[in-house]
Amino acid sequence: MYGIYIHIPFCIRKCPYCDFYSVSSDEDLRRDYLSALKNQILSFGRVEADTVYFGGGTPSLLDPREIADIMALLRRQFDISSGAEVTMECNPATADTAKFRGFIEAGINRLSVGCQSFQDETLRSLGRLHSAEEAKAAVRDAREAGFDNISVDLMLGIPYETPAIAEADALAAAELEVQHVSSYLLRICEGTPFADGVPGIPDDDVQAECYRRFCRVMDESGYRQYEISNFAVPGYESRHNLKYWQCGQWLGFGPGAHMSDSVRRYSFEPDIGRFIFAFRGGPVTDPLALMRDEGTVDAEEYIITSLRTSSGLDTAILSGRYGVRLSAEQLSFIGKCRDAGLAEVSEGHVRLTRDGFLVSNSILSELI
């Protein structure tokens, strides 16, 4: 079963830490982009899909009618199951209750709100366009509009963060009674303003303590950690993102979007001008020829992504899908991790513990 990812590459203003592909837009660019996007969608054959994800960029900048148009096209072009999870990322600065109602009518049933922090000073240092109160208000407005599956995105390792701040952010998310919380570590990416230097980034020990405190509040608030950076009320795990972590199948539309049939990966280069040029004339007969071949999905990738999840690495999938068995050296290393409390091994699965998640980069580089 496939997932479908739709990239909406527009933002009001670029956040200084962000390396996702996005540009500012005007009416003409938006119209031309949506037209090219529809032609790219029409270029692909029918697949069965049970998740749709509008990511960005800032999909909530679109008008609900534009989202409804894309959804109608997806339903005509693909077999989208009746209980499909349909997520849209939302920047708190871009929507109100009326717009949220429109998104629900358009078919969105899960909202991922990019709050990033509930501290005004931190939000300013991240260059966000909204205050802490506006982020909370967006979540409340979404619920009032009828959303009953809401995720909040937060960040850890942000400038001047302390364990107390991490704990306060986790508590604020829990108090909003959202069903899902993501909390990714700030990555300093090349080519972003933050790469030129950003003061106040906490050291590794402080970041580790922030992570532990964040996780503890999530535990105490009834969320289950199902991925290194993701927590959900049981039953509200992101079905779409699980496809990425389990090396599943998805189609990805738009510049910078990836797609995978779980054997090979493709992407369209992150360039909206080239994208519009490629699909300006209508659907094409061989869309993959216009995309970059990103190579095969191999055992290494499966090991890396599956160990991010609480269900862990399934040795039956490793041997069945990739024809690979863990070597004696790898098994010995996993045994050492288990003895050190960093991993658990049971019923053909290898899982990292929370302490293992904290040093997952080192574990993975040794294992690979």
Q: How far apart are CA 259 and CA 251, in angstroms?
A: 5
Cα gap 87→58, rounded to integer Å = 13
87, 169, 315 from 71: Cα distances, Å: 11, 34, 37
Judge contact between 3 and 80, C-beta under 8 A: no
Window 5 to 24, contacts with ligand SF4 (CB under 6 A): 11, 14-15, 18, 20, 22
Q: Provide the minimum distance between the beta carbon of 158 and ligand SF4 in the complex, in angstroms, as a whole number.
A: 12
Q: Does 173 bind ligand SF4 (CB under 6 A)?
A: no
Residues 104-143 that bind ligand SF4 (CB under 6 A): 114
- Compute how many residues bind ligand SF4; rule: CB under 6 A: 11
Q: Contact, 3 vs 243, CB < 8 A? A: yes
What is the DSSP-derived secondary structure letter of residue 23? B
Indicate which single residue of 91, 112, 241, 306 sits in contact with ligand SF4 (rule: CB under 6 A): 91
Closest CB 23 distance from ligand SF4, rounded Å: 10
Residue (58 or 125) nearer to ligand SF4, CB: 58
- Interface with ligand SF4 includes 198 (CB under 6 A)? no
- The CA-atom distances, in angstroms, between 155 and each of 38, 93, 149, 173, 207 are 33, 17, 20, 12, 11
Distance CA 41, CA 39 (A): 5
Specify the stretch interacting with ligand SF4 by CB under 6 A; choose among 53-61, 149-157, 232-240, 282-290: 53-61
Decide: is 58 part of the binding site for ligand SF4 (CB under 6 A). yes
Q: Does 342 bind ligand SF4 (CB under 6 A)?
A: no
Q: Which of 5, 37, 40, 57 binds ligand SF4 (CB under 6 A)?
A: 57
Q: Is 94 near ligand SF4 (CB under 6 A)?
A: no
Nearer Cβ to ligand SF4 (14/30): 14
> Can you tell me the distance from the alpha carbon of 243 to that of 51, in angstroms, rounded to the nearest whole number?
9
Residues near ligand SF4, by CB under 6 A: 11, 14-15, 18, 20, 22, 56-58, 91, 114
